[in-house]
Chain A
Amino acid sequence: MNIIVCVKQVPDTTVVKIDPVKNTLIREGVPSIMNPDDKGGLELALQLKEKCGANVTVITMGPPQADLVLREAFAMGADRAILLTDRAFAGADTLATSNALAGALKVLDYDLVITGRQAIDGDTAQVGPEMAQHLGLPQVSYVVDCQYNDANKFTVKKETEDGYEILEVEGPALFTVLASGYKARYMNVGLIVEAFNKEVEIWPASKLDIDPNKLGLKGSPTKVKKAFTKATKAAGQVYELDPEQAVDVIISKLQEKFII
């Protein structure tokens, strides 16, 4: 089985801070990591490889330094890594990103495509399903468990708001995976050394099967008009009182607002 896993290098948003004076994002010193849901997806691929034998290719679109997440994937057990990097990809929204990735997949062989549910820097959850449509693949999103059956069929568990669904899927297919379903393994010490000797293939836009007008800023229907930090509303009053008095303040406010 050939499995392709799409991963993204993201800033660790849990440590992103806002510059209180300039109201901008402070990116310096913020570590770059492999997006957690994508890492869960890679874990699923590696488990399928162990169970039924598979060739696992990881692919990412990004600047040259995104090479690091691909090396991490090698160290976890991936077999092949491809970095899509080209100025033509710059400024891509989700549709243009999905066009680039689908354009790369069109020149590769696969039985299963895996992406993370969403990336922590954008939280859109759109690139996976958009790609599936470009490739004409069935998709299941929010996957927390996936078993490979015979005859190219998969049984997957999809998480929903109030429970789950069990679905049977005929491959080739695309699944978007939740990190909570697949706890990623650590890098293998032996593989870490090897990871830096392995070749990460660098693919420019010209290598993809896609109309260049559908890439990057040109191929992006959505444009960010402005970015801002939230206007904080005027803070209310803060009281430092003993518990007895504090309770009286709360009760009088509740009465004032007719809550009690």
Chain B
Amino acid sequence: MNKADYKDVYVFVEQRDGQIQSVALELLGKARVLADSLGEKVVAFYPGYKNTESAKELIAWGADKVIVMDAPELKDYLTEQYSQAISQAIDKYKPSIVLLGATTIGRDLGPRLASIVETGLTADCTSLDISEERELMMTRPAFGGNLMATIMCTDHRPQMSTVRPGVMQKGVKDDSRKGEIENFAPTFDSSKFKVKLIKSVKENRGKIDITEAKVLVSGGRGVGNKEGFEKLNSLAKVIGAQVSSSRAMVDAGVMPHEVQVGQTGKTVRPFLYLACGISGAIQHLAGMEESDFIIAINKDKFAPIFGVADVGIVGDVHKIVPLLTEKLSKMVEKK
């Protein structure tokens, strides 16, 4: 392997049912920053079926070039089909960096690719930078979020990492951006297709995506139960927020897993995160501390959540939240 043969920052663009996933746009945003500091290009690997038409979207979001792999084998994600396609593309295009979303797809595909091309892969990165030696520095939480580690892959190419959804910021969409679209047809070895997708079921429990919310009202152990969360719901309604939860309330069966914030839940970065009755275990902080503005209400003045809050209120959420709801709804009425 000659390092000099490898260049440009590549993004694996994930689509589901033909929809480009938000995490792919976040990766393009980050790839743009990395590529600009290297003086290189942003290239998208875009596998799917009948997806050539939508490739220009990716240029608007920051790609200089899109490699479209348009084949019936790539309609739905399947490990073997996708591994064959993307590994052949890596062999042909020789990327210096490959980024994938740390989703159930990216975390299944990434290690398979790393194994085929024999390179390193760093999982679930929360920050990516370029070193003075022009190497990728990949930073991720370890030990359940207790420690951060910066990892490098200096002797192998490509440098690969999966990135948690919701961590990187999308660029600004510009429909007038110009870029190149190229088709790449992988050669499939169907004798290795041993997995068949029988059905794919979406459990649309209200289809809440807390990672897209601008304002989150989040509840923890101090909120206690469903009645407690009703108070948060009322407040959320008044200020147009969504309600999220700490792990404790998910484990207790009060809230569903898809609204869980934290290391084993989702990473969020809303404009406002209002933490109600959340003590702030390190695993929870890992999922929300990048929020623009954090207000925390907690009975215990030594709660770690106050360490990351911009405004901390020592008090009882069961008293403060209803009062806040009342005052705010009066203000809203006046307008």
Instruction: Please give the residue numbers on chain A whose beta carbons come within 8 Å of chain B beta carbons, in ascending order.
Output: 11, 13-14, 16-18, 25, 93-95, 98, 120-134, 136, 138-142, 155, 158-170, 173, 220-230, 232-233, 235-244, 246-247, 249-251, 253-254, 257, 259-260
Complex Cα gap A170–B301 (Å): 57
Given A123-B142, A133-B112, A227-B149, also A250-B313 (CB < 8 A): yes
Complex Cα gap A124–B263 (Å): 12
Q: Are B121 and A222 in contact (CB under 8 A)?
A: yes
Could you tell me the dominant secondary structure of chain A's interface residues? Answer: mixed
Given A123-B123, A125-B107, A138-B194, also A223-B146 (CB < 8 A): no
Complex Cα gap A246–B309 (Å): 15
Instruction: Please give the residue numbers on chain B whose beta carbons come within 8 Å of chain A beta carbons, in ascending order.
Output: 79-80, 83, 103-104, 107-108, 110-112, 114-116, 118-124, 137, 141-144, 146-156, 192, 194-204, 207, 215, 239, 258, 263, 271-272, 289, 293-295, 297, 301, 306-316, 319-320, 323-324, 327-328, 331
Q: How far is the CB of B136 from chain A (nearest CB, A)?
A: 11
Cβ of A168: which chain B residues have Cβ within 8 Å of it?
195-196, 198
Q: How far is the CB of A159 from chain B (nearest CB, A)?
A: 7
Q: Are B315 and A173 in contact (CB under 8 A)?
A: no
Q: Are B115 and A129 in contact (CB under 8 A)?
A: yes
Q: Are B194 and A169 in contact (CB under 8 A)?
A: yes
Cβ of A129: which chain B residues have Cβ within 8 Å of it?
79, 108, 110-112, 115
Q: Are A235 and B111 in contact (CB under 8 A)?
A: no
Q: How far is the CB of A135 from chain B (nearest CB, A)?
A: 10
Q: How far is the CB of A260 from chain B (nearest CB, A)?
A: 7
Cβ of A250: which chain B residues have Cβ within 8 Å of it?
295, 311, 313, 320, 324
| Nearest chain A residue, comparing its CB with the CB of B316 | A243
Number of A-B contacts (CB under 8 A): 244
Given A166-B198, A222-B120, A222-B153, also A247-B327 (CB < 8 A): yes
Q: How far is the CB of A235 from chain B (nearest CB, A)?
A: 5
Can you offer 13 A-B residue contacts whose CB atoms are under 8 A? Answer: A13-B143, A95-B118, A95-B120, A123-B123, A123-B142, A125-B123, A130-B112, A162-B204, A229-B146, A241-B313, A243-B320, A243-B323, A250-B320
Partner of B203, one of A93, A94, A164: A164
Cβ of A126: which chain B residues have Cβ within 8 Å of it?
107, 110-111, 114, 121, 123
Q: Are B154 and A223 in contact (CB under 8 A)?
A: yes
Cβ of B207: which chain A residues have Cβ within 8 Å of it?
162
Q: Are B308 and A130 in contact (CB under 8 A)?
A: no
Q: Are B308 and A246 in contact (CB under 8 A)?
A: no
| Nearest chain B residue, comparing its CB with the CB of A231 | B148
Q: Are A239 and B311 in contact (CB under 8 A)?
A: yes
Q: How far is the CB of B270 from chain A (nearest CB, A)?
A: 10
Query: Nearest 7 A-B pairs (CB), nearest first?
Result: A221-B120, A13-B144, A222-B120, A133-B115, A238-B312, A129-B111, A138-B194
Cβ of B197: which chain A residues have Cβ within 8 Å of it?
165-167
Complex Cα gap A94–B320 (Å): 48
Cβ of A170: which chain B residues have Cβ within 8 Å of it?
194-195
